[in-house]
């Protein structure tokens, strides 16, 4: 429960310490005194967004600190999950809002985020304001309210496990069927890739390496031509060797007579032998070069083949390698999809049957819950002076969703003889407030949230209906802590702890104070609410009588 709130420099509140009891805490005060500021402060420590405009003019920051005690098991479990220490089942939650718009949150002095405040805050406090009546106007929220009243989520939890498994199975099956639909065309394309690229046994960056080798090998082709020409010049028709032999023959007849010619003839014979030897060496070079030429042809053909594939698939060599690997992987999946489809189809049918049966069981449970819900809410509405109002639950079967097959909408008839119609089309503001209070009352024991806050639950009501609301708030407060902001005396007299919010001007500055009232102070405040400022002695006596009467209720 919320034991104490400390506020400093929040709008017109300069500083205030607000003590609270574990029962019914009522805040009253003149219009504009700052009751809404209190709710804003509580919202701040619950992690709601805060505007820098709520910082008191001229101050650096606003500070709101809340002390929570007797924490529920759910809250302590959440704190343990978040790694936040807590002793004696109590924590302090602080929110600082700077004038420049920044804010800091702390739980037990440890810096926290606003989202963590929300996670813990929603387990400790439930705030009902006028905007919460819109929940009743939204039929999509009615199923949640009905389930909250039922209290047992076992069937729904089990159903959701099966439903999500069915969703996942159906999704996988859909993906495989989509793949199966295009399998023939896709398989043909993948096999073409595998055949085109796989036969080449490509290596990464191979095209670059081949181009480099080809450029080097291409020069050997010109060398082969030159060597062959040289051989032809030496030993071909009308070659240098023949001419040398002819020259030697011409002078050989005269070598005996001339020592000079004899010497020259020897030299010509040596040249002829040398040229023959050179021709022989050139032929060896040519034979070796012929082998390099075969490599050149291979390089030409492989580079040409790779380039064709690059153009065909608009990819470089590395991308072709990846395409081949991906195609191999994908084709293997396609080949096993038939068996998977069969298995998943059978699984889906089993899950569909199971989830349908669970949905029917959930529907039947909600049907029983709806009957109990109508009975209990009708009792509460009768107590709240709405005995002529008929409430009903339109409960129908629809398609399977994560919440079951149920569609639920609350209907009311505000006038005798009228058929119940959707709340959104019938209920007035005052009726919505009382219907919501009735709902809060019937589900008060269905959760572990210790504190309920009602902001202007009395909107649109007065007289006996207001008195009944006060009694109902006190009744709820016997089960959990209730904090209520009101402007009606019929509700205020029911307080176990009455706090007055009062606005004053001190040193030309507006300040709002929060005062815990004793019986005398309560009497004066109740008299003011009933009769305005400066109430008569008769009004004060009436206020005292109302307080005494409320004590006996």
pLDDT, tens digit (0-9, with 9 covering 90-100), for 371-429: 999 999 888 888 888 777 888 999 999 999 999 999 999 888 877 777 888 877 765 66
CB under 8 Å to 170, separation ≥6 — which residues?
Answer: 348
141 φ, ψ to 5°?
-90, -15
Distance CA 147, CA 152 (A): 8
Q: How confident is the model at residue 93 (pLDDT cuts 50, 70, 90)?
A: very high
Distance CA 470, CA 495 (A): 8
Closest CA to 250 of 240, 265, 238, 235: 265
Helices in 30-150 by DSSP H: which ranges? 35-45, 73-82, 114-121, 134-137, 142-150
pLDDT at 336: 58
Closest CA to 478 of 455, 447, 456, 445: 445
Q: How many CB atoms lie within 10 A of CB 166?
A: 19
Residue scoring higher pLDDT (298 or 135): 298
> What would the two tokens of residue 87 be?
């002793």
Distance CA 101, CA 61 (A): 9
The SS3 assignment for 448 reads coil
Distance CA 438, CA 385 (A): 11
pLDDT at 548: 92
Q: How confident is the model at residue 239 (pLDDT cuts 50, 70, 90)?
A: low
pLDDT at 402: 93
Q: Which residue has the tokens 């109430």?
A: 535
The average pLDDT across 493-501 equals 93
pLDDT at 20: 94
CB contact at 8 A, 485 and 35: yes
Lowest-pLDDT choice from 113-117, 199-203, 252-256, 473-477: 252-256
pLDDT at 288: 66
Instruction: Report in angstroms the alpha-carbon separations of 244 from 249, 267, 273, 281, 363.
Output: 9, 10, 10, 19, 118
pLDDT at 292: 62
pLDDT tens, residue by residue, 152-197: 889 999 999 999 999 999 999 888 887 777 777 778 888 888 888 8
The average pLDDT across 292-302 equals 76
pLDDT at 445: 65
pLDDT at 180: 73
**Percent with pLDDT over 90 in the chain:** 25
pLDDT at 112: 86
Residue scoring higher pLDDT (381 or 265): 381
- For residue 236, pLDDT over 70 is answered with no
Q: Are strands 509-516 and 125-128 parallel, antiparallel or unpaired?
A: unpaired
Q: How confident is the model at residue 291 (pLDDT cuts 50, 70, 90)?
A: low
- For residue 130, pLDDT over 70 is answered with no
pLDDT at 132: 58
- For residue 268, pLDDT over 60 is answered with yes
Q: How confident is the model at residue 254 (pLDDT cuts 50, 70, 90)?
A: low
pLDDT tens, residue by residue, 64-74: 999 999 988 88
pLDDT at 216: 63
Lowest-pLDDT choice from 322-336, 406-420, 428-442: 428-442
pLDDT tens, residue by residue, 344-359: 999 999 999 999 999 9
Closest CA to 299 of 381, 220, 192: 220
Structural domains of the chain ordered from first start: 1-124+449-517 (3.40.50.300), 184-333 (no CATH)
CB under 8 Å to 479, separation ≥6 — which residues?
Answer: 444, 445
Beta strands (DSSP E) in 279-403 are 390-401
pLDDT at 492: 93
- For residue 133, pLDDT over 60 is answered with no
The average pLDDT across 454-477 equals 83
Closest CA to 498 of 35, 21, 12, 41: 21
Lowest-pLDDT choice from 138-147, 365-374, 441-450, 537-546: 441-450
The average pLDDT across 21-38 equals 82
Beta strands (DSSP E) in 29-101 are 61-68, 91-98
Q: How many CB atoms lie within 10 A of CB 94?
A: 20
Closest CA to 248 of 261, 257, 238: 261
Q: Determine the Cα angle at 39 with ends 36 and 43, to 5°.
A: 135
Cut 0.75: pTM above it: no
Beta strands (DSSP E) in 444-480 are 451-455
Q: What is the mean pLDDT of the chain?
A: 84
Lowest-pLDDT choice from 250-254, 317-321, 359-363: 250-254
Q: How confident is the model at residue 430 (pLDDT cuts 50, 70, 90)?
A: low
């Amino acid at each position: 429960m919320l034991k104490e709130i400390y506020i400093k420099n929040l709008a017109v509140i300069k500083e205030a310490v607000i003590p609270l009891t574990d029962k019914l805490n009522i805040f009253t005060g003149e219009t504009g005194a700052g009751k809404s500021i209190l709710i804003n402060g509580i919202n701040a420590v619950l992690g709601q967004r805060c505007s820098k405009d709520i910082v008191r003019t001229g101050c650096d920051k606003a500070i709101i600190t809340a002390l929570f005690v007797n924490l529920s098991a759910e809250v302590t479990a959440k704190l343990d999950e978040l790694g936040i220490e807590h002793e004696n089942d109590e924590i302090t939650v602080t929110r600082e809002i700077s004038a420049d718009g920044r804010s800091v949150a702390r739980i037990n002095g440890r810096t926290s985020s606003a989202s963590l405040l929300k996670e813990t805050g929603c387990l400790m406090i439930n705030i009902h304001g006028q905007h919460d009546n819109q929940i009743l106007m939204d039929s999509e929220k009615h199923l949640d309210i009905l389930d909250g009243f039922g209290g047992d989520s076992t069937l729904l939890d089990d159903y959701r496990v099966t439903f999500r498994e069915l969703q996942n199975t159906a999704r996988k099956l859909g993906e495989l069927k989509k793949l199966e639909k295009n399998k023939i065309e896709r398989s043909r394309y993948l096999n073409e890739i595998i055949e085109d690229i796989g036969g080449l046994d490509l290596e990464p960056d191979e095209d670059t390496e081949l181009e480099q080798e080809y450029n080097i090998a291409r020069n050997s082709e010109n060398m082969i031509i030159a060597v062959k020409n040289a051989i032809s010049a030496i030993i071909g028709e009308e070659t240098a060797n023949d001419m040398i032999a002819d020259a030697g023959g011409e002078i050989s007849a005269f070598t005996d007579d001339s020592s000079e010619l004899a010497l020259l003839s020897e030299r010509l014979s040596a040249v002829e032998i040398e040229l023959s030897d050179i021709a022989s060496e050139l032929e060896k070079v040519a034979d070796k070069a012929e082998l390099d030429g075969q490599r050149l042809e291979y390089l030409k053909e492989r580079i040409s083949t790779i380039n064709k594939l690059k153009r065909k698939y608009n990819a470089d060599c590395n991308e072709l390698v990846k395409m081949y690997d991906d195609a191999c992987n994908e084709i293997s999946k396609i080949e096993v999809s038939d068996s998977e489809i069969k298995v998943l189809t059978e699984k889906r049918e089993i899950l569909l049957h199971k989830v349908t049966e669970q949905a029917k069981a959930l529907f039947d449970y909600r049907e029983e819950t709806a009957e109990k819900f109508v009975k209990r809410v009708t009792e509460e509405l009768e107590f709240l002076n709405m005995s002529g109002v008929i409430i009903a639950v339109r409960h129908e079967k629809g398609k399977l969703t994560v919440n079951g097959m149920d569609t639920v909408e609350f209907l009311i008839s505000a006038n005798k003889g009228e058929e119940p119609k959707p709340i959104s089309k019938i209920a007035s503001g005052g009726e919505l407030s009382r219907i919501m209070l009735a709902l809060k009352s019937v589900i008060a024991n269905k959760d572990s949230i210790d504190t309920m806050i009602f902001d202007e639950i009395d909107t649109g009501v007065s007289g006996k209906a207001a008195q009944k609301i006060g009694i109902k708030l006190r009744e709820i407060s016997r089960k959990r802590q209730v904090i209520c902001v009101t402007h009606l005396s019929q509700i205020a007299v029911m307080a176990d702890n009455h706090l007055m919010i009062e606005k004053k001007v001190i040193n030309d500055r507006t300040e709002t104070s929060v005062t815990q009232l004793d019986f005398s102070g309560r009497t004066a405040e109740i008299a003011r609410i009933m009769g305005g400022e400066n109430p008569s002695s008769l009004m004060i006596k009436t206020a005292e009588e109302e307080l005494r009467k409320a004590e006996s209720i």
